[in-house]
Structure 1
Amino acid sequence: MYNDMMKDLKDKMQPVVDITEINKKAAEKLFALQSACMTDLFNSSIAQMKALTAVKEPKSAVELQVQFFKTLESKLTNVAEQEIATLTEAKDQLSEIVEKSITEMSELPTNQFGDFSKFTDMSQFADFSKFTDFSKFADFSKFTDLSKFADLSKFADMSAFTAAPVVEEAEKKAPAKAAPRKAAAPAATTAA
């Protein structure tokens, strides 16, 4: 049973393994292309600098630069085309795997996941209509006369209060601390 389960898991995970392998190969090819391009660019730039130092006339220097940039453009275009071809090939392979997986999923028998119709029948749940009458909670008639409460408008102007006098008044009202009392000596007992 364990072997069957592992084989089934391996079969189910095979598309993920294939996708990972395709991405790995594409990334390796792109890294190799970029590395070769940078090496070639570095070497050709050094060679161009050496060639420019040997030139005595400005016209020859301009011609060397034009030739260098034409060669550079063709090399970069070639690398870009190879990268696009690599990405397109990887995309096509990935699309094929995804389409195959979707086709296999659509071919699964519908009863494989069990009968979910029992979860769509809401009649088995309690009748919640009795909880929609909130009228007994919305009766605020008892609270309509607020004249019993003090006028709070006098508390709106807080500029009359400062922190320092409040602290001083609290210190004045606090009772003085009494000196700690010494414990009385134990009474002498006489021996009979």
Structure 2
Amino acid sequence: MDTKSIPWDQGTWTTEPVMIKVEDGFLKVTAENGSDYWEKTLYEFQHRNGHALLAPWEDSQAIEVTFQLASFTELYDQAGLMLWHGQEQWIKAGVELNDGVPHLAVVVTNGYSDWSLAPVPEWVGQEVTIRASRMKDAVILRARSGSEGWRTIRVARFPYLTDKQAGPFFCAPTRSGLEVVFTRWVHTAPDADLHTNPPVVE
């Protein structure tokens, strides 16, 4: 299938950001202080006030979101791609600032959340793309920066056949004023195989 851009106004926000502006085709948004997604594990709290812009997502489509890291300066600043089936069944995959270093971060939630991290200090200030493609009962998550090709970051169970949504997300758990610039949101061809990287399509 051809790569198709998704208009920013086609999605619906789970929680409206403090500021939303579309400029030169980019989506510029500001997060609410304390915004996050998390379900119970370790911390025992439920945070459901993160900002995710969601649109329907079909199995015949991979979805990609691209954003800039220049504004990430504080603990847990984060942005990326949200896959959504409901308030207790979702996956967020992206980049999160942890101990001063950007990390590829994935949280898989089915009633309870988990958290995986992989440091990418060389990605500071770059533009990053996160990709999801569903295969059988799972989703294949990949990421690339402006200077590197795809790397597979996780295979996670996501078995839902209907009522799936996906789109950009961002959160600022510890501060006010986080501004994130999203430059791209597209549907494109799904992965052919777990061990075959998809093409890079700008």
Higher relative contact order (CA 8 A, sep 6+): 2
State the TM-score, normalizing by the size of structure 1. 0.13
Structure having the higher strand fraction is: 2
Larger radius of gyration: 1
* Greater share of helix: 1
Structure 2-normalised TM-score?
A: 0.13
